[in-house]
Amino acid sequence: MKLVELYGRVRFAVRIEGISRREAARRFGIDPRTVAKMLSFSVPPGYRRSRPPARPKLDPFVGIIEGILDGDKGRPAKQRHTSKRIFERLRDEHGYGGGVTIVKDYVLARRQHQREVFVPLRHDPGHAQADFGEALAVIGGVERKIHFFAMDLPHSDAGFVQAYPAETTEAFCAAHVAAFAFFGGVPSSILYDNTKLAVARILGDGMRQRTRMFSELQSHYLFEDRFGRPGKGNDKGKVEGLVGYVRRNYLVPLPHAADFAALNERLLADCRRRLGDRLRGHTETIGARLARDQACFNDLPQTPYDACDKQPGRVSSLSLVRYRGTDYSVPTAYGHREVLIRGYVDRVVISCGGEIIARHVRSYEREDFVFDPLHYLALLERKIGALDQAAPLAGWDLPEAFTTLRRLLEARMGRQGKREFVQVLRLLEVFALEDVTAGVHAAIERGVIGFDAVKHLVLCRIERRPARLDMTVYPYLPRASVAITSPRSYLDLLGGAAS
């Protein structure tokens, strides 16, 4: 502070009072060259180098360091040289005899000069950015990785988030459908990175060749697509920021949900709640600014896009169709035929000749098998010997009455009893489980153990008419009579065995 005051006094004496520089040097007891410096600067300018500092040990190796840093530009960010590694290479490969600190200082200064500088951007209403992020969550009691889709509207900062088991094409499209419904319209344009879900290939002139499914989605909703530079996440900084915000706020602490549908309901509630926030630098809430975005949106089409991945397939000899590494069953009547597989986020639908022949819950396990036992009953009726070893029936949770019926059928008819039991099971192809179960119970209670009796009783239940079963009309039905065993008969039997 005193030095600054001295500057002012010397400058005042020379410039205002008009004394000479020599007299000012004598009056204030300083060197005349210092007086000249004070007249050139209003405050002390600090130390200034007339030439760069000499680095006799490092300078001969600067070219090598520059070559290493230039070569790192084409490497992944996490696999580039650290300053310590550069020092070790200089020492071991090139005979460098200096210290590590001067190498670190040079590398730090060099990298600071290379850091990118950005232009502040304005964001007009009606546009969006989209990306996927990853996090952990507990779904159905199991901790697992989730992939969440985020769409951000840069003008209003409104965001939409949904979680999926995997970052797949059908999840990508389903997320768009849900986002457009959430915002109530279709953005004029959407900015993406060069995800393989949307970009099949980047051509030599920088043009993108879209994937078939993304082209269908774009044609359905009529939005313009834009893509950032490869490897430049800052081109879509708004949605990158939203991904980080979601991970730090919506997904901390680790969310627990029964399934993905329940988790997504919570995420939508978080998105709606955030519309009431007012961000730094804005006088309006996010929801108020969202209205300007919505005013620039395109209208939603009358029907949403069918967000599924379509692939051709062929039924194997085991009546299975493979989709994304998992085998799904179809009725055995369609064995060895060509089919169309439609994979949704939560289900798989298989069609043959325009007819839907199978629906399954989607499995994301590797090399899994998803069976519908009903698909194999017609074949088991002919190949009854495979009944006990049929994999599609393993784990089929049927009411206890079916087990009782099978035991009674086999006790009275042997192998034919097995076949009749499969015929009873085939009633489930047409009727509801509760109706067939009621028919089985009624047959056991009446002591009429056979397929025809069960079918008759099921039809009576459905048609809501009295279940009158005249056994004279069905003479071939075996009758079951259950007698009560008396203690005397049991003792007589034991006595006869002893003699």
Question: Tens digit of pLDDT for each residue in 449-484?
Answer: 889 999 999 999 998 887 665 555 555 555 555 456
Q: What is the pLDDT of residues 387-429, one digit of tens each?
A: 999 999 998 999 999 999 999 999 888 889 999 999 999 999 9
If asked whether residues 259 and 208 sit together in one domain, one would say yes
Preceding amide of 253 cis, omega within 30: yes
Say whether both 83 and 177 belong to one domain: no
Q: Which residue has the tokens 């035991």?
A: 407
**Residue 38: per-residue pLDDT:** 87
**Are 175 and 282 part of one and the same domain?**
yes
- Tell me if 51 is assigned to some domain: no
Chosen domain end from 345, 370, 395: 370
Question: Tell me, what's the pLDDT at 476?
Answer: 54
Whether 32 and 81 share a structural domain: no
Q: What is the pLDDT of residue 402?
A: 95
pLDDT at 370 (0 to 100): 96
Query: Looking at per-residue confidence, does 371 or 491 come out higher?
Result: 371
User: How far is the C-alpha of 329 from the C-alpha of 350, rounded, in Å?
Assistant: 9
Average pLDDT over residues 221-238: 80
Contact between residue 153 and residue 293 where contact means Cβ atoms under 8 Å apart: yes
Q: Which residues contact 472 (CB under 8 A, 6 or more apart)?
A: none
Q: Confirm whether 403 is domain-assigned.
A: yes
What would the mean pLDDT of 232-249 be, rounded to a whole number? 85
Kindly report which listed range (53-62, 229-238, 242-251, 344-353) carries the lowest average pLDDT score: 229-238
**In which band, very low, low, confident or very high, does the pLDDT at 308 lie, cut at 50, 70 and 90?**
very high
- Residue 203 above 90 pLDDT? no
Report phi then psi at 169, rounded to 5: -60, -45
Each residue of 170-181: pLDDT tens digit? 999 999 999 999
Q: What angle do CA 216, 219, 225 make, to 5 degrees?
A: 95
Global pTM reads: 0.72
pLDDT at residue number 415 = 87
Cross-strand pairs, 152: 129, 159
In whole angstroms, give the CA distance from residue 454 to residue 452: 6
Q: Does the residue 226 lie in any domain?
A: yes
Asked if residue 67 has pLDDT above 70, the reply is yes
Provide the token pair at 374: 């009903």
More reliable by pLDDT, 120 or 107? 107
Q: Which of 20-34, 134-148, 333-347 is the least confident region?
A: 20-34
Listed in sequence order, the residues at least 6 apart from 4 whose beta carbon sits closer than 8 Å to its beta carbon are 43, 44
Specify whether 218 is located in the same domain as 291: yes
Report the alpha-carbon distance of residue 238 to residue 151 in Å, rounded: 9
Is the domain of 66 the same as that of 150? no
Question: Of 295, 328, 347, which residue constitutes the final position of a domain?
Answer: 295
Which two three-digit tokens encode residue 240? 């990158």
* pLDDT of 141 above 60: yes
Q: For residue 133, count other CB atoms closer than 10 A to its CB.
A: 20
Please determine, for residue 113, whether its predicted confidence score (pLDDT) is greater than 90: no
Give percent of the chain with pLDDT exceeding 90: 64
> In sequence order, what DSSP letters do the residues of 234-290 get, joined into one string?
GGGHHHHHHHHHIIIIIT-SPPEESSHHHHHHHHHHHHHHHTT---TT-SS-HHHHH
Residues 356 and 402 in one domain: no
Domain, as residue range, for 32:
2-40
Burial of residue 409, with CB atoms counted within 10 A of its CB: 0-12 exposed, 13-18 middle, 19 or more buried: buried
Say yes or no: 291 and 315 in one domain. Answer: no
Query: Would you say residue 50 lies in a domain?
Result: no
Please indicate, yes or no, if residue 122 is contained in any of the structural domains.
Answer: no
Buried/exposed 464-473: b ≥16 CB within 10 Å, e otherwise = eeebebeeee
pLDDT average, residue stretch 78-88: 91
Q: Given 244, 270, 295, which residue is the final one in a domain?
A: 295
In a domain, 97, yes or no: yes
CA-based Rg of the chain, rounded to a whole angstrom?
Answer: 40
Per-residue pLDDT at 497? 53
Of the two residues 59 and 187, the one the predictor is more confident about is: 187
Tokens representing 13 are: 């004496």
* pLDDT tens column, 3-37: 788 888 888 998 888 899 999 999 899 998 888 88
Specify burial of residue 123 (Cβ count, 10 A radius: 0-12, 13-18, 19+): middle
Query: Confidence class of residue 85 from pLDDT cuts 50, 70 and 90?
Result: very high
State the residue for tokens 């950032």: 228
pLDDT attached to residue 232? 61
Phi, psi of 154 (to 5 degrees): -60, -30
Rounded mean pLDDT, 311-321:
96
Do 391 and 363 share a structural domain? no
> What is the structure's pLDDT at 214?
94
Position 52 scores a pLDDT of: 75
pLDDT attached to residue 454: 92
Same-domain check for residues 276 and 143: yes
The verdict on residue 169 lying in a domain is yes
pLDDT, greater one: 53 or 285 = 285
In terms of Cβ atoms closer than 10 Å to its own Cβ (0-12, 13-18, 19+), residue 330 is: buried
Cβ-contact 314, 295 below 8 angstroms:
no
pLDDT, tens digit, for every residue of 357-391?
A: 999 999 999 889 999 999 999 999 999 999 999 99
Q: Is the pLDDT score of 237 beyond 90?
A: no
> Considering only CA atoms, which of 12, 65, 75 is closest in space to residue 38?
12
Interstrand relation of 320-323 and 309-314 (parallel, antiparallel or unpaired): unpaired
pLDDT score recorded for residue 76:
82
- What pLDDT was estimated at residue 468? 66
* Model confidence at 487: pLDDT above 80: no
Same domain, 243 and 135: yes
What sign does the dihedral 34-40-46-48 (CA atoms) show? negative
What's the structural domain count of the chain?
Answer: 5
Residues 32 and 167 in one domain: no
Residue 375 within a domain: no
Alpha carbon 195 to chain centroid, angstroms? 14
- The confidence score (pLDDT) of residue 478 equals 54
